[in-house]
């Protein structure tokens, strides 16, 4: 049987397409509906918008489009594990953007076995030791990465600031520190490291106070902290439940300096909590926040238009962090593809080691520098601390308007340079 010339041309052209021109499968596990969705939504949107922007404006990675599969897992670790197993039996993504601590830690053995780089929204220090040989590490995580300081290092930096703050205010005696949060892997992740650091700095460490990851009435917890004389309190949960704590503590007159983790405060939470959020200090991962000028802000605004063509949406700190995490992954993929290389998990992992003081191109002044090595996955030991400033009622007008009229603002208070101590690796 003779093949028609037109059909033959199609077959030959198809055969001529090399394998590397096929779309690159990428997974994205997000919390859009679960207990941490208050911050999971803007972060996940930043990741998705950035990857779509790379496909649209840069032609993907090395001439190949990324085929991104995003799935909401509702902050349920078993669902994340099941989703991962489903992907690996079908699509086999070469890299995954992930989310929570419980699920990310549950997947460490899987991604290590399958050699799939996993860039998480969890900043658990347990994910930072790629060798498993650090003094207090309990696992090797050679394929796990995240953008920004670990929860433990963020808390260490805030305690350094708190010790200075205590002295600057002329206070006498030992300041009292308390860890507050749910009995869950995420808020518990930095608990022991933070309490050890507090003792090292001369704090009196009070018994931890638990409150759920969901909003509720936390008057009892605030009274406990107040009656114990807490001066500084770490809020280990996401903003949604922290708002409830801040309001309750304002109501009972607890005079406490609150320290939020990176997910514990943002512009949306400032609006929701009102003046109860005034004064909260927390780490910000990026070198700039929305509305500030930096060379890389042009690219950030272009990315924002992927999901907001009008360009009017205000993007909180988590959205920008999601962009930076996505851009680190895509540049590691580009490095893997150099000189005709295959975009595989091990080559992407090695791409994270290829640069020092790494800022994704086009994002200067927005994405803070990262440094990863085969011995140490702590991307940064520099922690930027900001204070939430709320000067009046926030129930009138959207976030961008409240920022413009100076009812709310993010105020940089300190940059803390931590030592890259080996005894802190993985802990």
State the DSSP string of 238-278.
-HHHHHHHHHHHHHHT---EEEE-TTS--HHHHHHHGGGGT
Whether pTM > 0.75 for this model: the answer is: yes
Hey, which bits of 116-248 come out as E strands? 118-119, 144-145, 176-181, 204-205, 209-210, 232-235
Residue 61 and residue 194: Cα distance in Å, rounded?
40
Report in angstroms the alpha-carbon separations of 425 from 139, 284, 329, 377: 11, 21, 22, 9
Average pLDDT value for residue range 397-414: 96
Predicted confidence (pLDDT) at residue 394 exceeds the cutoff of 50 = yes
Predicted confidence (pLDDT) at residue 53 exceeds the cutoff of 50 = yes
Return the percentage of the chain with pLDDT > 70, whole number.
95
Predicted confidence (pLDDT) at residue 46 exceeds the cutoff of 50 = yes
Predicted confidence (pLDDT) at residue 8 exceeds the cutoff of 50 = no
Domain boundaries, the chain: 13-150+292-353, 151-289+381-424
pLDDT attached to residue 13: 36
- The residue length of the chain stands at 427
Residue 371 and residue 379: Cα distance in Å, rounded?
5
pLDDT attached to residue 137: 81
Average pLDDT value for residue range 89-99: 96
pLDDT attached to residue 108: 98
Mean pLDDT of the chain: 95
The more confident residue out of 6 and 382 is: 382
pLDDT attached to residue 199: 98
Token pair for 178: 């308390």
- The single-letter DSSP state of residue 373 is B
Predicted confidence (pLDDT) at residue 4 exceeds the cutoff of 60 = no
pLDDT attached to residue 355: 97
Bin 189: left if φ > 0, else alpha if -120 < ψ < 50, else beta: alpha
pLDDT attached to residue 339: 85
User: 364-390, pLDDT tens digit by residue?
Assistant: 999 999 999 999 999 999 999 999 999
Query: Among residues 279, 220, 271, which one has the least CA distance to residue 255?
Result: 279
Average pLDDT value for residue range 279-304: 97
Average pLDDT value for residue range 278-287: 98
Three-state SS for 133? coil
Q: Categorize the per-residue pLDDT at 286 as very low, low, confident or very high, splitting at 50, 70 and 90.
A: very high
User: 190-205, pLDDT tens digit by residue?
Assistant: 999 999 999 999 999 9
The CATH code that applies to domain 13-150+292-353 is 3.40.50.2300
Predicted confidence (pLDDT) at residue 5 exceeds the cutoff of 70 = no
Q: Do domains 13-150+292-353 and 151-289+381-424 have the same CATH topology?
A: yes
User: 337-359, pLDDT tens digit by residue?
Assistant: 998 899 999 999 999 999 999 99
Average pLDDT value for residue range 49-69: 98
Predicted confidence (pLDDT) at residue 81 exceeds the cutoff of 60 = yes
Predicted confidence (pLDDT) at residue 94 exceeds the cutoff of 50 = yes
Token pair for 188: 């518990």
User: 221-261, pLDDT tens digit by residue?
Assistant: 999 999 999 999 999 999 999 999 999 999 999 999 999 99
CATH 3.40.50.2300 fits 151-289+381-424, yes or no: yes
Report in angstroms the alpha-carbon separations of 210 from 37, 179, 215, 238: 20, 8, 13, 14
39 near 262, Cβ under 8 Å?
no
């Amino acid at each position: 049987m003779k093949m028609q010339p037109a059909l033959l041309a199609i077959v030959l052209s198809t055969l001529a397409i090399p394998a590397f021109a096929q779309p690159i499968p990428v997974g994205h596990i997000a919390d859009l509906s679960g207990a941490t969705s208050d911050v999971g939504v803007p972060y996940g949107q930043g990741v998705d918008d950035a990857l779509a922007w790379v496909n649209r404006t840069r032609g993907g990675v090395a001439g190949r489009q990324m085929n991104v599969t995003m799935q909401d897992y509702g902050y349920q670790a078993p669902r994340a594990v099941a989703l991962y197993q489903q992907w690996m039996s079908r699509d086999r993504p070469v890299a995954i953007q992930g989310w929570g601590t419980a699920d990310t830690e549950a997947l460490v053995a899987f991604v290590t076995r399958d050699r799939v780089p996993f860039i998480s929204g969890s900043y658990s220090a347990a994910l930072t030791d790629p060798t498993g040989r650090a003094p207090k590490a309990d696992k090797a995580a050679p394929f796990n990465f995240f953008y920004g300081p670990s929860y433990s290092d963020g808390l260490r930096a805030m305690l350094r600031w708190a010790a200075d703050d205590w002295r600057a205010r002329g206070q006498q005696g030992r300041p009292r520190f308390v860890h507050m949060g749910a009995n869950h892997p995420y808020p518990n992740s930095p608990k022991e490291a933070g309490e050890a650091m507090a003792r090292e700095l001369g704090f009196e460490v009070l018994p931890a106070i638990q409150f759920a990851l969901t909003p509720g009435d936390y008057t009892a917890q605030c009274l406990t902290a107040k009656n114990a004389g807490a001066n500084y309190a770490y809020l280990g949960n996401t903003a949604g439940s922290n708002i409830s704590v801040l309001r309750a503590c304002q109501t009972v007159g607890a005079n406490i300096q609150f320290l939020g983790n990176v997910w514990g405060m943002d512009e949306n939470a400032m609006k929701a909590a009102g003046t109860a959020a005034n004064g909260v200090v927390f780490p910000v991962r990026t070198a700039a926040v929305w509305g500030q000028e930096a060379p890389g802000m042009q690219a950030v605004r272009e990315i924002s238009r992927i999901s907001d063509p009008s360009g009017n949406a205000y993007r909180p700190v988590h959205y920008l962090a999601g962009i930076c995490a996505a851009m680190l992954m895509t540049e590691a993929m580009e490095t893997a593809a150099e000189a005709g290389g295959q975009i595989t998990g091990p080559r992407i992992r090695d791409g994270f080691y290829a640069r020092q003081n790494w800022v994704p191109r086009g994002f200067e002044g927005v994405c803070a520098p990262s440094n990863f090595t085969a011995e140490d996955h702590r991307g940064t030991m520099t922690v930027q601390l900001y204070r939430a400033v709320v000067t009046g009622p926030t129930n009138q007008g959207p976030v961008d308007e409240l920022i413009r009229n100076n009812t709310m603002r993010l105020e940089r208070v300190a940059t803390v340079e931590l030592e890259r101590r080996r005894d802190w690796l993985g802990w």
